[in-house]
Structure 1
Amino acid sequence: MMLDEGEVIPTTTEELTHYSMLEEKGCLKYEVGEVLLEQVVKDFDTQLLFINKGITLAETENKFGIVGFFKKIIYFYETSNFCDTKLSRSRNF
Structure 2
Amino acid sequence: MRSSFIFCLLAMYYIASANATFCWNISGVPCSIFCHDHYGGSELRLKDPGTPCKMPGGRDGKCENGECKKKNKVKIHRDFSEDHRATLHKGHNVEVTL
Q: Scaled by the length of structure 2, what TM-score is found? A: 0.21
| Structure possessing the higher relative contact order (Cα contacts under 8 Å, 6 or more residues apart) | 1
- More helix per residue: 1
